Structure 1
Amino acid sequence: MAVGRRGDLRRFHQGVLVRTPAGLLQQELQVALQALLQSHPALRLRLVRSEHEGQAVGLQVVELDDQAGARSLTRVDMSGLQGQGWLGALQAGNEAALGRLDPWSGCMLQAVWYDAGEQEAGRLRLVIHHFAVDGVSWRILLPELQAAWQAARSGQFYQGDTEGTSYGRWARQLAEQAHSASRQQELEYWQAQGESLQQPEALLGLRALDASRDTYASAGSLTVQLAPADTALLLGTAPGVIHGSVNDLLLGALVLALQQWRERRGLGGAGVRIDLESHGREEGRGQDLSRTVGWFTSLFPVHLHAQLSTEQLRQALAGQAALGWH
């Protein structure tokens, strides 16, 4: 869990920067933020410590008062700033907002309004602690923020959609489901997936990952841009050929490429263990998470196997039927 991470837990966040219209009023933003905090209890969560060890053991929703929206917003005067001055103010405002996040006291959201005056568009920086938000949540929050601001400008208070499954209800149902007979039957399978981490052939590279060396700072990335025709094949045609999903296709390509890489280096091993992430919003019976804000992301181990001969691998990479793709 993220509470086991090293570093400052308070800065564990997601954020966005959006353009704001000229002539925006600070009070309108405060009212709009108040509406978001009222509509989404996840934005008012706080970590609860164990009485004995001081570690986080749960989350509670903080009661909302009528000044919460005002406390969550800071205005920065950008009048007359240009170039590096503007950029420096953006960076300073963002750092200050991160410093105000405090999951232990229930401060999960901070907003910085970069006010460029009545004639110029400004910016709004939203930072939310990751315990309260995920990627899908932003698709809910940003349109609601705009609707709440428009309501405030008209002298109204935005009332969010109260239907659907709340984050708290979903968490309780998930805990109940963990003790169900169907989940208990899956225990042996998931234990086997975890044990696969200890197998030498499951390594992705030449050595096991080392937390002291393999950090975000030392990571690299590779971006490949596909032509429209290739993209259509990847997202449309190919998954149907293998009777699976795009994820299945990408995972299959990973394990086949890994086997080819190992063979070139004379290495053994026929599989790899990876941690696979999903949005975690699979809805159970009677659940509706379409308007629910929170951190639903799930992470689970998968042990992929590829026991192919060199010729079968060559055929598979060439698009032939070695894997039974017809």
Structure 2
Amino acid sequence: EYMVPSYFVRLEKMPLSQNGKVDRKALTEPEGSINTSMEYVEPSCDEEHIMAEIWKKVLGLARVGINDDFFELGGDSIKAIQVVSLLAGEGLTIEVKDILVHRTISKVILNVDNIQRSNDYEQGFIQGSFGFTPVVKWFFSQRFNNPNYFNQSILLELKKYMDIQKLKMAFVKIIEHHDALRVNYSHDRDEFFFNNGEITKDFDIETFNIVGLPPQKQENELIKIGMELKSGFDIKDGLLIKAAIIHLEDNDKLLITIHHLAVDGVSWRIILEDLFAAYEAIENNREVIMPNKTASLMDWYEKLLSIKDSEKLILEKGFWKKYSDFKFEFPMDFDTKDWSIASRSLVKGYLDKEKTEKLLNDANKVYNTSVEELLVTAIAKTVKEWTELNEFVIEMENNGRNIEGINISRTVGWFTAIYPLKISINSADTGEQIKQIKESIREVPQNGVGYGILKYLTEADTEIDERMTELRFNYLGRFDKESDNDIFSYSHLKTGSETCLTNTMTAKLEINCMVINNMFEIEIFYNEKAYKEETMSDFRDRYLRNLENIISYTVGSDEVYFTPSDFETLDMNQEELDSLFE
């Protein structure tokens, strides 16, 4: 629907450029005052005002009109989750897909029935037990030597002095509100349960002083402190969150580590936002008021069970079957049988703020793409150059929070969807490559959520493929004010491994991309016993070069190109679509 023109202008003939394409700059402008996606239209009704204010807050903008396109403003699926979460706090209930499909405030309100509903999810402490979700089954299928040490962590640079007692009180509020942080695993029953006995216990924040140490020794000590803190979990007993204050010369640091079973990328945004709000309220002697809870982990598990045998999931089996027999391997510098975390190394790379801004905005207009689609196109080009393969499979990760009929926009936990994506890259033309990758990603049903359900929750698909993933890719989205506010900001200092050194890697190459403080960042984890550092550095450099070329190519184009996924209601292939615009 969003592709249907709002205005039509009759022309004697279509102006063409030198290459025979439609010359958009020469098109006649419509007469009179009209509303287009480029013209600001202010909100009028209460719902529009609330949505516009929340879009402004999440996207960091001074002004948002009701016809402004969410993606052109820099939005993505994770930002959409944050919008849905904040709307729920204002009594407006929509789903993430409503934003992703309708894209403007006016069309969301026009197309969503019953937009104003009460939150009927349990607001007290969740009690009871629940089984394994797909990503948790994936976790246990890895048979880690030490499953207690598999974390996600963040190091925050404190911009001002934080009273440790008030900080403890803020963490207690976080733990009380977010039930996932109190979840434990019962080995006897092989299920998870909410350990609400932890609510009555004090939350301890350890303190460390490494002021005065030489720089290298200080760096080593910070890693040692980090790994000691991270290795202290027992998934069968106790909280799954820990924190420590580390005193350094320049300023203090706050290290927060959470077992991965209780957290994911979206969860971190929620936790950091709530930690800031809770501490600020306590510091100013105000009552800490948390936003309403959305669905619990138990609700989520029961929802997955309710759809695992649905007709929609059964129809997906044919789509995923084509991956089962596709086998390939990326080249390695050395053969090795040692895939322990102790052998894992990392190379990182960045785009400057100017290029990042283009990646998030203008680069996506020409082919109506998402940021993730351009990032995967750069991966495809790089792998093709590296391996000379035209077809291969990469494993994709996304937030997994997009099942209809349940709202988990403000639920802390691990909801990640992991699924294979087959890449075919036959053309040398950048534009054609973008189209191919865009369509490959969009033909995946339900953003890959169904793959995990079919693989891990249905009896018909119990066999687990134990081959190690060749390459896993994850775009974590943008971290803006959640990790940069008046109290703290993100720190790049190293705090040691996020998983036990005796655990096994889960992918030969693991690539994570994110935007932090308006700069694009890529991390490539690899086995130093399988790859030379220069090989991985070259891969990183090739990737960034390909990404920069894609950005330049798209930003430099004055034309717009469509693909079949832009017209979901039409049964039309790319060749037929191209013929309409010749």
TM-score class, shorter:
0.7 to 0.9
Q: Does 1:228 align with 2:354?
A: yes
Check if 1:127 corresponds to 2:252: no
C-alpha separation between the residues in 1 aligned to 2:196 and 2:306? 26
CA contact (8 A) 1:39 1:162 kept: no
Q: Mark the CA change 1:205 to 1:31 in structure 2 (over 3 Å): closer, same or farther.
A: same
* 1:110 counterpart residue number: 242
- Residue aligning to 1:189: 319
Matched, 1:284 2:404: yes
- Deviations, residues 94-147 of structure 1 (Å, cap 9, x unaligned): 23322321112143111112368xxx9533211110111111111111121122
The one-letter code of the counterpart of 1:98 is K
Paired residue secondary structure (1:165):
coil
Specify the SS of the correspondent of 1:163: coil
Question: What residue ranges of structure 1 are gaps of 5+ in the alignment?
Answer: 52-56, 264-268
Are residues 1:13 and 2:151 paired?
A: yes
Shift of 1:256: 4.9
In structure 2, the residue corresponding to 1:313 is in which secondary structure?
coil
Check the 8 A contact 1:39/1:159 in 2, yes or no: no
- Give the distance between the partners of 2:401 and 2:373, measured in 1 at CA: 19
Q: Classify 1:109/1:204 alpha carbon distance in 2 versus 1 (closer, same or farther; 3 Å).
A: same
Report the CA distance between 1:255 and its aligned residue. Answer: 3.8
Q: CA deviation at 1:49?
A: 1.5
Cα distance in 2 for residues equivalent to 1:5 and 1:203: 23
1:293 aligns with 2:423: no
Opposite residue 279 of structure 2, the aligned amino acid is: W
Partners of 2:293 and 2:187 lie apart in 1 by 31
Work out the CA distance in 1 between the residues paired with 2:200 and 2:150. 25
Matched letter for residue 181 of structure 2: L
Identify which of 246, 251, 254 aligns with 2:371.
246
RMSD over aligned Cα atoms = 3.8
Q: In the alignment, what sits opposite 2:192?
A: 59
Q: After superposition, where does 1:1-326 map in structure 2 within 5 Å?
A: 1-3=138-140, 4-20=142-158, 24-50=162-188, 57-70=190-203, 72-76=204-208, 78=209, 81=212, 83-84=214-215, 87=219, 90-114=222-246, 122-155=252-285, 158-196=288-326, 198=327, 202-205=328-331, 212-213=337-338, 217=343, 221=347, 223=349, 225=351, 228=354, 232=358, 234-256=359-381, 258-259=383-384, 270-285=390-405, 287-306=406-425, 308=426, 312-313=427-428
Normalised TM-score (structure 2): 0.45
Q: How far does residue 32 in structure 1 lie from its aligned partner after superposition?
A: 1.2
What is the rounded CA distance, in whole Å, between the counterparts of 1:254 and 1:91 in structure 2? 31
Moved more, 156-165 or 129-138: 156-165
Identify unmatched segments of 5+ residues in structure 2: 1-137, 434-548, 562-573
What amino acid is aligned across from residue 278 of structure 1 in structure 2? Answer: N
Call closer, same or farther: CA 1:18–1:206 in 2, change over 3 Å. Answer: closer
* More helix as a share of residues: 1
Equivalents in 2 of 1:219, 1:123: separation in Å? 24
Shift of residue 42 of structure 1? 0.6
Q: What one-letter code is carried by the residue in structure 2 that aligns with 1:193?
A: Y
Identity between Structure 1 and Structure 2 (%): 21
Relative to structure 1, the CA distance from residue 205 to residue 80 in structure 2 (aligned partners, 3 Å threshold; closer, same or farther) is: closer
C-alpha deviation, 1:19, in angstroms: 3.6
How far apart, CA to CA, are the structure 2 residues paired with 1:24 and 1:253?
A: 42
Q: How much does 1:191 deviate?
A: 2.7
